[in-house]
Amino acid sequence: MSKLYHKYSIQLLDLQILVGNPNDAWRAASSAGKSSLHIIERFNVSLGLERRAFDVVEDIKYPMAMLSGTLPALTLHLNETKCATLFACLDQLSVKKDPDLNTSQRSRSSDVDLDDIQMTNTAPSGSKLIVMIFQIDRVTCGLASEMYQDQVIAALEITHVKAELKLEL
C-alpha cells in the first residue's frame, strides 16, 4: 500500500511564543526556553500528508488524502498581562467588519442553508474520502495572578487526546 500514496511530512521544532516589552531581554528568554516572558514553552509539531498517487481507485477504503498531526506536549503560562496582550494581538489580526452592512445583513451572509447539505450513509459513486487525524499527548495550562506575585492560582492538564475526521466529497 505504500506505493499507492505520495507521502509528505513536516516537522516544526522548538516553536515558542513570548510576550514582553521592547526593553525586555527577550533574546535571552528565547534561548532559555522557559521564562516569565513565555506564553507557550518550546514545543514540536509533526504534520503528515499522504495523497493518493492514482485517482482511478474509487474504493472508499482508500482515502484520496490523509492528513495527520502529532503534538507531544504544549505548556502554557498565562497571567492578566499576557492574556490582555494576547487578546490585543488577536484583535489586530481579526477580520474587520464592513461598517456599511447592518447586523442583519452580516448574519444572513454567514448563515448556512441546511437544505444544501446532504447527509448519507453510503458513499456516492466517485466520491472522494479525506481522513484527518490529530493527536495531542499532553497540554498543561497554568494561570497565575499578578496580584499574588505570579503565584499559580489555577492549573489544567489534558492528556491523550485523539481526534479523527472523515469527509466525503
List, for residues 58-99, the tens digit of each pLDDT value. 666 788 899 999 999 999 999 999 999 889 888 988 877 665
Say whether 138 sits in a helix, a strand or coil.
strand
Cβ atoms of 152 and 144 within 8 Å: the answer is yes
Phi, psi of 108 (to 5 degrees): -70, -35
Which one-letter amino acid corresponds to residue 119? M
Say whether 121 sits in a helix, a strand or coil.
coil
Of 152, 6, 5, 130, give the one whose Cα is nearest residue 75. Answer: 152
In this prediction the pTM is: 0.69
Note the pLDDT of residue 112: 46
